[in-house]
Amino acid sequence: MFPDSPPASWPTHLAELWGNGIPLAAAMGVVIRRLDEEVLELVAPLGPNRNHMGSAFGGSLQSLATLAGWGVALMAAGDPDASHVVIRDAQMRFRVPVCGELVAAAAMPTPDAIAAFRAVLVGRGHARLTVPVTIRGPNDTVAARFVGEFVASVADS
Amino acid sequence: MFPDSPPASWPTHLAELWGNGIPLAAAMGVVIRRLDEEVLELVAPLGPNRNHMGSAFGGSLQSLATLAGWGVALMAAGDPDASHVVIRDAQMRFRVPVCGELVAAAAMPTPDAIAAFRAVLVGRGHARLTVPVTIRGPNDTVAARFVGEFVASVADS
């Protein structure tokens, strides 16, 4: 649980997971910009994520939002070596094109919500968490909204 | 319109669009396997699209499904130089992990549906098309389902 902020080791841990284990994250140039008790914010440059019209490719936006939501779900589950997290459902609404850096901000659950999620995970061996992610454009406008449902399972010991 | 099958130039045209204009498609290794009056089927190898657990990354599956649905919408709109197509909404339900080659099959609209879509596009200057995409796993099982809503607009002349 994060009474104040997530453990300082998480940014390094997530970056290693993505850097070593998810080639697409490396191809996209994903970087963690912010991680605290409120949000996990990821950014990626437009270059490798552009489409033929010069704006961000919809698949890149879905991928960035998925990584952000998945990161939040993994942190909410607690020990990354003791649980697996997979995505079950994804919904994304695209409002306006993103013509610069891609920014995805996944909302961190409240401490109470994290506690409830972990209680179900320990009690049943699996638990669901819904994570909203916002893609922002210039002047902090909302360019797209993503909602991911993630399922955590206790890993085989 | 496709009375029998899409024009023979479409596979080359789509491959060039993605190869030159969407770096992520190249990074994913996307290839068109089938294109006819029923389906646009795309495949991608697991290697560049894997996650840290060895199955397909959810973002790669969303990206592949988006490319397939977008290709169908662009073909349904007709002349690729006369219209733009963007994704407006994406929904994906993940059922089972994909542990081998990624395969996304986007259903081609019927000739009647294509005719209606083009009539609205010409009449209003823009039109929406919903495209279902299926991700198949081993033994032709359904591993995930995607539904994309795409908006075509008449390009500025």
Per-residue pLDDT tens over the stretch A30-71 = 999 999 999 999 999 999 999 999 999 999 999 999 999 999
Per the CB < 8 A criterion, the answer to whether A133 and A95 are in contact is no
CB contact under 8 A, A52 and B87: no
Q: What is the chain A residue with the closest CA to B19?
A: A52
Residue of B70, B81, B83, B92 to mutate for A, most A C-beta atoms under 10 A? B92
**pLDDT over 70 (residue A3):** no
**Which residue does chain A place closest to B63, by CA atoms?**
A59
A49 lies in some domain: yes
Mean pLDDT value of segment B99-124: 96
Mean pLDDT of B95-114: 96
Q: What is the pLDDT of residue A139?
A: 78
Q: Which residues does chain B have within 8 Å of residue A23's beta carbon, measured at their own beta carbons?
A: 27, 47-50
Structure token pair of residue A91? 């919904």
> Could A62 and B57 be called an inter-chain contact, meaning their C-beta atoms sit closer than 8 Å?
no
Residue B138: the pLDDT is: 73
pLDDT-derived band at A1, boundaries 50, 70, 90: very low
Average pLDDT over residues B66-77: 96
Residue B4 lies in a domain: no
A 98-157 residues with CB < 8 A to B: none
Chain A partners within 8 Å of B91 (Cβ): 89-92
Under the banding of pLDDT at 50, 70 and 90, the label for residue A5 is low
- Picking from A30, A46, A51, A150 by the largest number of B CB atoms within 10 A of its own CB, the best residue to mutate is A51
Where residue B55 falls among pLDDT bands split at 50, 70, 90?
Answer: very high
- Of A117-131, B51-65, B79-93, B98-112, which range is least confident? B79-93
* Range(s) of the domain holding residue A113: 9-154
How much is the CA Rg of chain B, to the nearest whole Å?
Answer: 15
Mean pLDDT score, A134-141: 86
Task: Write down the pLDDT at residue B3.
Answer: 44
Asked, for residue A68, whether it belongs to a domain, the answer is: yes
Say which CATH number the domain at A127 has.
Answer: 3.10.129.10
Shortest Cα distance from B101 to chain A (angstroms)? 15
Sign of the Cα pseudo-torsion (A107, A111, A112, A116, in order): positive
Residue B84 lies in a domain: yes
Question: Does A64 lie at the interface with B, CB-CB under 8 angstroms?
Answer: yes
Distances (CA, A) of A106 to A40, A80, A109, B62: 5, 18, 9, 18
B45 contact A CB<8A: no
Average pLDDT over residues B84-105: 96
What is the rounded distance in angstroms from the CA atom of residue A111 to the CA atom of residue B33?
48
**CB-CB contact of B92 with B112 (8 Å):** no
Question: pTM for the whole thing?
Answer: 0.95
Residue numbers in A near B90 (CB within 8 A): 58, 62, 90-92, 94
CA distance B41 to A47: 27
Is A2 domain-assigned? no
Is the pLDDT assigned to residue A77 strictly greater than 70? Answer: yes
| Cross-chain Cβ contact A62/B64 below 8 Å | no
Higher-confidence residue of B23 and B79: namely B23
Query: Does some domain include residue A109?
Result: yes
As for how many domains chain B has, the answer is: 1
